[in-house]
Amino acid sequence: MVHASVRLAPVPESAARARNFIDATLRIWDCAGVVDDARVVVTELVSNVVRHAGTEVAIDLDLVGDCLHMAVVDHANGEVALKASDAGAEVGRGLRLVDTLSDRWGVQQQPGEKCVWAEWSVGGRSASRV
């Protein structure tokens, strides 16, 4: 298993920092095939934390065998739910994108903290790079 993490402030610029972290880490880990999807997912999740939770956001990446696991954690209460699709909506599409772009995803909630996670199969990567 390999692990990387970053902690970011609840500011709009954190979405770009999160994308850069994902891009750099996944290319080092030879997981370039999921970089684009993971960048969109982390952007949506970090933007949601900044917009709704307003707390520091932690991003943890774990590569275990052929499974890439991304966790985005904030320190606020609140529900995380997939909303009904509204094609014309300007907001509320974030989790729909997470659902579409990841192989699996879910939410773990406890008082004062929630974690939205996503996973991808990265079976084609070169094991010698990790």
**Distances in whole angstroms, Cα of residue 16 to Cα of each of 11, 23, 32, 40, 47:** 10, 10, 18, 11, 10
Fold of 2-124: Heat Shock Protein 90 (3.30.565)
Sorted by where each begins, the domain ranges of the chain are 2-124
Per-residue pLDDT of the chain (130 residues; tens, 9 = 90+): 999 999 999 999 999 999 999 999 999 999 999 999 999 999 999 999 999 999 999 999 999 999 999 999 999 987 776 655 555 444 457 789 999 999 999 999 999 999 999 999 998 654 434 4
Would you say 10 and 50 are in contact if contact means Cβ atoms under 8 Å apart? yes
